[in-house]
Amino acid sequence: MTKTRKIIAGAIVILALIIATCYWQIRQFAASPLTINQETLFTLPAGTGRVALEAQLVEQKIVPPTLWFGALLKLEPELAKFKAGTYRLSKAMTVREMLELLASGKEAQFPIRFVEGTRLQEWLAQLRAAPYLKHTLEDDQFTTLAQALQLGSTDGVEGWFYPDTYLYTANTSDIALLKRAHQRMVTLVDSIWQEKMDDLPYKTQNDLVTMASIIEKETAVNDERSKVASVFINRLRLGMRLQTDPTVIYGMGDKYNGSLTRADLETPTAYNTYVISGLPPGPIAMPGKASLDAAAHPLKTNYLYFVADGKGGHTFTTNLASHNRAVQVYRQALKEKNEQ
């Protein structure tokens, strides 16, 4: 072998070693963990290129400065097809896994929990505080929300959003979330309305939802919901006023300070069922499915009254004398509990 050929062969060997070393370094870098010590949310803006992505990752101390990031994207171009969005990065994630996640478009999801028995105003406050949510509502007025949802009136606002945990991605709008919750409630109510008991004193689906919202506020015990429903249905049929405290509280709005007085019970509002006859004009909270089912399928009883029993449930009675005795039992139990 001539000297020239030996030099060329040696150069080829050295080049091959360099290439192999670089390849090994790239593979090592791809398999290395991210330089974060806790779960991190990373937002990739639209239109970000390879160089800008690397700069952003280095700036946020997610990956270290290195020669191998750009080389990895050139070696495996499928990893360079990243998509804009907000992603959840874990501390155990490797560089390759991160790039695969960015290429998958599987953005981080954020939960928001709308609880049964709470009011729409409370839901709107939650939405205002929710992270990564796009806020489009100008204010929390029911008329504004009704217009945004194209409901035509505010009649389908309070009570007409299904309580549940909803997941959303960054930049989802508040209206989009509320539309999901509203459509779920509309679909559920329509189904329950079709299968409700005959001869119930409801003229519209809104009456059913109104009754369910009262049940939701009166008891959290599943086994009691249909009993509570029976009390109110019996009262409606007899022309008795419902006389339920939660409707008074709702009608008071911001004036409610945590306790009800006799004057509060006697002060007329559109929702004060100690003063008005029949159902209030609309729901007073967001009912869950159990309360909607109870409103549609109340037990057949003679109960006209109920009062807390001091043990988390209620005592149901058929006449005023028995009810008054149950009230005294409750007050005594409450007194003994406060003295402990």
pTM score, whole prediction: 0.86
pLDDT value for 26: 86
Q: Is the pLDDT score of 278 beyond 60?
A: yes
Integer Cα distance of 97 and 285 in angstroms:
45
Q: Is the pLDDT score of 219 beyond 70?
A: yes
With cut-offs at 50, 70 and 90, classify the pLDDT of residue 147.
very high
Question: Which ranges in 32-136 belong to alpha helices (H)?
Answer: 50-59, 68-75, 95-104, 120-129
Per-residue pLDDT tens over the stretch 221-258? 999 999 999 999 999 999 999 999 999 999 999 899 98
Both structure tokens of 259: 């306790």
Instruction: Please state the rounded mean pLDDT for residues 248-270.
Output: 93
Instruction: Please state the rounded mean pLDDT for residues 98-114.
Output: 96
pLDDT value for 11: 60
Integer Cα distance of 114 and 122 in angstroms:
9
Averaged pLDDT score across all residues of the chain? 91
Question: Which ranges in 85-221 belong to alpha helices (H)?
Answer: 95-104, 120-129, 142-148, 174-195, 205-218
Per-residue pLDDT tens over the stretch 75-103? 889 999 999 999 999 988 999 999 999 99
Whether the CB-CB separation of 29 and 68 falls below 8 Å is answered with yes
Strand partners, 305: 317
Integer Cα distance of 74 and 34 in angstroms:
20
Nearest residue to 43 (alpha-carbon basis) of 31, 29, 57:
57
305-308 vs 165-169, strand pairing mode: unpaired
Q: Is the pLDDT score of 150 beyond 80?
A: yes
With cut-offs at 50, 70 and 90, classify the pLDDT of residue 7.
low
Per-residue pLDDT tens over the stretch 284-340? 999 999 999 999 999 999 999 999 887 888 999 999 999 989 888 888 777 777 766
What is the SS3 assignment for 59? Answer: helix
Nearest residue to 303 (alpha-carbon basis) of 249, 247, 229:
229
Nearest residue to 90 (alpha-carbon basis) of 74, 104, 101, 105:
101
The residue with tokens 């992270």 is 131
Helix axis angle, 174-195 to 289-296, nearest 10°: 30
Per-residue pLDDT tens over the stretch 165-198? 999 999 999 999 999 999 999 999 999 999 999 9
Both structure tokens of 254: 């911001």
The gap between the terminal CA atoms of the chain, to the nearest Å, is 103
The residue with tokens 């559920």 is 188
Per-residue pLDDT tens over the stretch 154-170? 887 999 999 999 999 99
